[in-house]
Amino acid sequence: MAVDISVKLGGVRFKNPFIVGSGPTVKDLDQIKKAADGGWAGASIKLSIDPFPYLSLPPRYRWLRREKMHIFTAERRLNADQSLALLEAGRRAREDFILIPNITYDGEDHAGWGRLARRFVDAGARVLELNMCCPNMSFNLSSTGTETTKNTGASLGNDLENLPKAVAAVVEACPIPVIVKLSPEGNQLPPAAYAALRAGAAGVGHTGNRLGIPGIDIRRPLEPFYHLQDQVTLGCLSGPWLEPLTLRDTYQMRHALGTEPFILGSGGVRDLDSAVRQIMVGADAVWVCSETMLRGFDWLPGVLEELKAYMAEMGYSEIRDFRDLLHRNIASAGGLTIREGHAVLDREKCVDCGICWKIGHCSAISHEGGVTLIDGGRCLACSTCVDLCPKRAISMIETR
């Protein structure tokens, strides 16, 4: 069966739905060549800010292996000239590769957004991305009680009055598709996405990242968590741990915006399954950042083969065939079908370890004489014991 894994944004065709997310792996020409050669459909260039500088620091990152969580606050940004030069060099080096400048205008007037965007169009950009998502800029400052008059990144993404004005200025100045990248921080994702589309954006997406405070050692709470960086701060969390939240972000955007708009999801995409899940809740394409930081780019060809095989197996001829599949089937809390049943114990497997005896909300499990027993009549059928039992000695049965 022939399958087509390409997706279209306006008149621009991406050969597959995988785009390198704006970040540290899209800052120089060598990285861009590697991403293009690794089969990625495109890459969003690292954020450039104009006027520069505004919060640009040497990078300090942590990867928490056990939690599968990446975190950072300090990060080096590009200026507009650096991003323009990279765009031009990247285009020359790999003509078919779609490079998407990720930009923020930090001046006072909305028209400045248009002027900045125009420079990228003149340099040959085919798609443009407006960064209204970064939570490490003015949003981080205001979240920690720091006075700021800045309205950048996630702060602008939550400002439903100024966001559409900035988007409209860019759309007016640019004849190419404009993506607005938003943040779930601030809880304005669906209305902000709607405002961006109404102002003329061709697509919307979300960063997925949450601000958080990981790694506090309670005996040395003021001890730096980062290497070569002092102070505890709010950090931007990304990576696989984030996936359930970002599926919700994509789902809520699709739910609010309907079937037509082009939506990019991101947050925790690292393999076939995590990408397909994003598509199933409403994404047309995905941005991948953390995984490219940890593993580079050359794992994608295998995933693309897996995607084609998966689609053939499932009878999907194009991405649209399974986009929104889960989205359409996510029930509301009031619409659940709850079936009657209870837990049953397999005495052959049970070793009377006592783990299930302690479940605080359960009065169905007894252990007289150290022998485990489940009273089906008192069982709520919550299934906590099934998941806790290390011997798989408990299962659920349905009753009528």
Ligand X SMILES: Cc1cc2nc3c(=O)[nH]c(=O)nc-3n(C[C@H](O)[C@H](O)[C@H](O)COP(=O)(O)O)c2cc1C
Site residues (CB under 6 A) for ligand X?
21-24, 46-47, 70, 72, 75, 102, 131, 133-134, 181, 207-209, 238-239, 242, 266-269, 287-291
> Which residues ranging from 297 to 316 are in contact with ligand SF4 (CB under 6 A)?
none
352 scored as a contact of ligand SF4 (CB under 6 A): yes
Which of 193, 264, 319, 394 is the binder for ligand SF4 (CB under 6 A)? Answer: 394
* Non-local CB neighbours of 62 within 8 Å, separated by 6+ positions: 70, 71, 72, 214, 215, 225, 226, 227, 235
Contact of residue 291 among ligand X, ligand SF4, none (CB under 5-8 Å per partner type): ligand X
Positive/negative CA dihedral, 22, 25, 30, 32:
negative
- State the nearest-atom distance from the C-beta of 244 to ligand SF4, in Å: 23
Both tokens of 49, joined, read: 């800010």
Contact of residue 47 among ligand SF4, ligand X, none (CB under 5-8 Å per partner type): ligand X
Positive/negative CA dihedral, 212, 83, 293, 35:
positive
Compare residues 172 and 352 and give the one whose CB is closer to ligand SF4. 352
Compare residues 314 and 344 and give the one whose CB is closer to ligand SF4. 344
Compare residues 11 and 354 and give the one whose CB is closer to ligand SF4. 354
Give the residue from 263, 186, 233 showing the smallest Cα distance to 17: 263
- State the nearest-atom distance from the C-beta of 24 to ligand X, in Å: 5
Compare residues 79 and 395 and give the one whose CB is closer to ligand SF4. 395
Count of residues in the chain: 400
- State the nearest-atom distance from the C-beta of 223 to ligand X, in Å: 22
Under a CB-based contact definition with an 8 Å cutoff, are residues 289 and 266 in contact? Answer: yes
- State the nearest-atom distance from the C-beta of 396 to ligand SF4, in Å: 7
353 scored as a contact of ligand SF4 (CB under 6 A): yes
Helices 80-93 and 29-37, axial angle in degrees (round to 10): 40
CA–CA separation, 168 vs 171, rounded Å? 5
Compare residues 290 and 372 and give the one whose CB is closer to ligand X. 290
CA–CA separation, 13 vs 126, rounded Å? 10
> Which residues ranging from 54 to 113 are in contact with ligand SF4 (CB under 6 A)?
none
Compare residues 26 and 385 and give the one whose CB is closer to ligand X. 26
Give the residue from 314, 375, 320, 372 showing the smallest Cα distance to 342: 375
Contact of residue 239 among ligand X, ligand SF4, none (CB under 5-8 Å per partner type): ligand X
- State the nearest-atom distance from the C-beta of 46 to ligand X, in Å: 5
Both tokens of 334, joined, read: 């009031």
- State the nearest-atom distance from the C-beta of 205 to ligand X, in Å: 8
Both tokens of 115, joined, read: 């002027």
CA–CA separation, 360 vs 70, rounded Å? 34
Give the residue from 200, 188, 203, 320 showing the smallest Cα distance to 252: 188
> Which residues ranging from 154 to 173 are in contact with ligand SF4 (CB under 6 A)?
none
Compare residues 117 and 242 and give the one whose CB is closer to ligand X. 242
**CA atoms lying within 13 Å on the CB side of residue 111:** 0
380 scored as a contact of ligand SF4 (CB under 6 A): yes
Under a CB-based contact definition with an 8 Å cutoff, are residues 337 and 305 in contact? Answer: no
* Contact residues: ligand SF4, CB under 6 A: 343, 345, 350-356, 359, 362, 364-365, 372, 374, 379-385, 388-389, 391, 393-394
